[in-house]
Structure 1
């Protein structure tokens, strides 16, 4: 099944106030010229920056990098938590024609060393704790090219302490960033994104999903080293003149107070955030926070009930780093239950079988994506032509995700292909089992994974985080509740409780870390 492109989902329609720069550096300079004294960035419990202040910081960083001898195409690694200086560094690097390498702050050891060495970064800009972590790896990066982001740090003052005007260098087709995947299933892959791809994804988010204007205030607690916070936060703010409110991380108790305090009318999320917010006790802020739009993927609750309780419009979307975020989406107030939306104007989407042929409406297959306009998809995997050729075949990017499409072109996401559990001759979606268990009383969230079975194929392990506000359910109570929601072949064999689930900083469940818990899990077969 192939999507029919809804003309209203063109990423550029209805956005007359958005800038049309063809390069991230030009975008920054144009925004500063239009709104020099307007507030651009607000740090939760920190300082505010105007667009002109951002430009000043960008110019100083660019001048410092030039004095170090960096030339267009050289790479700069950024390992920072959300803060205005992270925004300035990211803008400075990309605007100067250099390649930004945002590094996941959760990376340690061999994984961190791989990203820094494989990317070929000439300079490392990092928060002090992460700079120390990198230094402990014994890499060959020159000491004078490791710069701490703290304003009073000697390395920052020495490198970037001189004023200079910001500049823009490069073209639409130049690589702007190499963003490494989280690497939960193997060695991280460096996704190369050119300026055009970043701008196309940002236009889609600003015009269609956020409906952003200069009066929009976007709150993000997702990390800027991840494409979601960039596609749905930073670059739409530059395109539209919206304010960007930065929180270092998600706080269940602090989220709605932050939204109200900073008058944010839009925010974005990952699925686990919505589950935590939904299961929090009712509060007077539930409908008094001021947010209007919530954009993201994988809500793990009934979104209509969430909308009614919190007074926001859900905008569910689907995408990945290779598409620079959401490329299939709804518009605010137009969600279709169970669907992640329709293909936006810059891409075409098909659902395919194993032979690579489009399947009929309603049939589950692999989701494949093709560009309809130049620069709609990634350039490839950095220094991995083999992986690029495996993923992009005949102009189509094969996502490895399973989904189905209805006759109207609305896409339903099912799971990662590797998240399927093969049990008793049946394919079981780990996500479907998780959603059923999450609906059980006394469960805050859970993770599900397949584990080897003595009979061949797999058994199902479910790791549950109990809801601290409610009595902990017993195993018989949970089993009775699950039997009303799941077919017999999808019922877990192994159950165990945990204080928290292993996740990446971006909230992605690390399923492979669940498997060792089977050794101490409750075995329903032994208790039967």
Structure 2
């Protein structure tokens, strides 16, 4: 056994690029991309590339191709081709053999964090890590061969959580659209018999709010939701409509979903509200992850599995990033020497081993010495019949240090609740210190391009409001 060593035959670098080549062979005559009246097959179009209009200054790409985009001015680092994608492909060499990476640890993808809590960071993923992320995501979500996948999740958001490559691996049909719009979503689901889609909880919220006059779906649609903790009320409404919701957890730094709320058959016997509460938890590590834990930030020790003790969520596994681009300090802060990636998310571990997020570390509100979870307050606010969107951040307070400030957008109702009514509603459902002391109504809450609420921006607004003259008790 000692003399056996890896050979070129069994040590080829892992890379998801091979998924495209395989799809062109196995699913060559099957539709790969559908947009309006345009349809491509896997043999004719293995992959559609975006024209990219902007790179942050510190990347300095050697070549940036801008295709038929007259609104973007070329810079010293750009080259413009007045050409279409189709004509570029037609000019290519059909006999060209693509070159595999020499090392699977080579950087493959640069993704940027969404910037909900701070400035975006450039996250570098390898061929190897991306390969594991994709297969892990397909396995955990039980994606079958040749699904019909509706792109309600932006492809640039962690490569669509890996499914831009994953659909090639299983020969799926990609149904594309320009922007998220609830009526269009329902129309495309029915027209193309959509089987799968992804999206942040805000997407589910939009779909369920629009559906007041709609009948339940003719066929179940599997939805993978992640990005922020989904309120149980939204999950319940989505399930009633016929969406089969799977809840997961991941970050740009993980390349996709690495924790999911693995469902147990015995839970189907529970009442709908209890099932929604269980599904609102983030869950357990996926097969491809090595370890997931919640630890005390001071001691580094695992917190008690009591569903109450809060710590920071840490991860270990092949799906993790190589690091932040040109940011060794930021990289060393989260990828520690003891082999853990510190996520910055605060959570608890339940007795059954399922993890649940309580807040981002930057979103935790410290009021009168108590650590307050904005997520828990938001979950209560979402149960109010008039609330469409909710986000809770800290507002400075001279006495308490910080107090909860709720930003709300409301549904189109004839009777709008007052700030006092919202506060009283929360007071009946929350401990005194968790009740918002300030309520701000807005037509729409600011969001990132991926649909997540920009708490970073809301925190700045709350901070600019200053401390109230008299802190309300």
Query: Shorter chain as normaliser: what TM range?
Result: 0.7 to 0.9
Q: Distance in 2 between matches of 1:132 and 1:31?
A: 35
Aligned mate of 2:31, from 29, 34, 39: 39
Query: Is 2:77 aligned against 1:141?
Result: yes
Residue 3 of structure 2 corresponds to: none
Query: Is 2:62 aligned against 1:122?
Result: yes
Note if contact 2:296-2:303 (Cα within 8 Å) is conserved in structure 1.
yes
Q: Distance in 2 between matches of 1:486 and 1:338?
A: 18
The offset of 1:134, in angstroms, is 5.9
Residue 368 of structure 1 corresponds to: 314
The offset of 1:277, in angstroms, is 2.0
Q: Distance in 2 between matches of 1:411 and 1:238?
A: 31
Query: Is 2:281 aligned against 1:339?
Result: yes
Q: Distance in 1 between matches of 2:353 and 2:83?
A: 56
- SS of the aligned residue for 1:29 comes to helix
Residue 439 of structure 1 corresponds to: 383
Tell me how many residue pairs correspond in the alignment: 440
- SS of the aligned residue for 1:36 comes to coil
- SS of the aligned residue for 1:389 comes to helix
Residue 194 of structure 2 corresponds to: 264
Residue 452 of structure 2 corresponds to: 508
Which digits, 9 at most, give the CA deviation of each residue in 1:68-91, with x for residues without a partner?
xxxxxxxxxxxxxxxx443xx7xx
Residue 283 of structure 1 corresponds to: 213
Specify every segment of 5 or more residues in structure 2 that has no aligned partner in the other structure, as ranges: 1-11, 266-274
TM-score (norm 2): 0.85
Which digits, 9 at most, give the CA deviation of each residue in 1:34-78, with x for residues without a partner?
1111111112x24111001213xx6xxxxxxxxxxxxxxxxxxxx
- SS of the aligned residue for 1:123 comes to coil
Q: Distance in 1 between matches of 2:330 and 2:173?
A: 38
Residue 52 of structure 1 corresponds to: 43
Which digits, 9 at most, give the CA deviation of each residue in 1:255-298, with x for residues without a partner?
2222111211111110111122222342344322x343111113
Query: Is 2:114 aligned against 1:182?
Result: yes
The offset of 1:185, in angstroms, is 4.2
Aligned mate of 1:293, from 200, 209, 222: 222
The offset of 1:25, in angstroms, is 2.3
Range with bigger deviation, 330-339 or 484-493: 330-339
- SS of the aligned residue for 2:447 comes to coil
Residue 309 of structure 1 corresponds to: 240
Higher helix fraction (1 or 2):
1
- SS of the aligned residue for 1:199 comes to helix
The offset of 1:120, in angstroms, is 2.3
The offset of 1:218, in angstroms, is 1.2
Residue 195 of structure 1 corresponds to: 127
Query: Is 2:328 aligned against 1:377?
Result: no
The offset of 1:520, in angstroms, is 7.3
Provide closer, same or farther for how the CA distance between residues 464 and 168 of structure 1 changes in structure 2, counting only shifts above 3 A.
same
Which structure carries more relative contact order (alpha carbon 8 Å, separation 6+)?
1
Residue 8 of structure 2 corresponds to: none
Residue 23 of structure 1 corresponds to: 15
Aligned mate of 2:185, from 255, 266, 270: 255
Aligned mate of 1:223, from 154, 169, 179: 154
Query: Is 2:83 aligned against 1:162?
Result: no
Query: Is 2:408 aligned against 1:451?
Result: no
Q: Distance in 2 between matches of 1:383 and 1:420?
A: 29
Residue 411 of structure 2 corresponds to: 467
Q: Distance in 2 between matches of 1:474 and 1:186?
A: 31
- SS of the aligned residue for 1:254 comes to helix
Query: What RMSD in Å do the two structures reach over aligned CA positions?
Result: 2.9
- SS of the aligned residue for 2:168 comes to helix
Q: Distance in 1 between matches of 2:150 and 2:361?
A: 32
Q: Distance in 1 between matches of 2:40 and 2:206?
A: 31
- SS of the aligned residue for 2:19 comes to helix
Specify every segment of 5 or more residues in structure 1 that has no aligned partner in the other structure, as ranges: 1-19, 59-83, 90-102, 106-111, 148-152
Which digits, 9 at most, give the CA deviation of each residue in 1:304-327, with x for residues without a partner?
523542122211001111111110
- SS of the aligned residue for 1:253 comes to helix
Note if contact 2:313-2:343 (Cα within 8 Å) is conserved in structure 1.
yes
Note if contact 1:341-1:410 (Cα within 8 Å) is conserved in structure 2.
yes
Q: Distance in 2 between matches of 1:183 and 1:275?
A: 21
Aligned mate of 1:239, from 169, 182, 185: 169
Q: Distance in 2 between matches of 1:360 and 1:322?
A: 26
Provide closer, same or farther for how the CA distance between residues 134 and 445 of structure 1 changes in structure 2, counting only shifts above 3 A.
farther
Q: Distance in 1 between matches of 2:68 and 2:379?
A: 39
TM-score (norm 1): 0.76
Which digits, 9 at most, give the CA deviation of each residue in 1:155-174, with x for residues without a partner?
86896661223624214222
The offset of 1:419, in angstroms, is 0.7
Q: Distance in 2 between matches of 1:278 and 1:21?
A: 44
The offset of 1:301, in angstroms, is 4.0
Residue 63 of structure 1 corresponds to: none
- SS of the aligned residue for 1:30 comes to helix
Residue 272 of structure 2 corresponds to: none
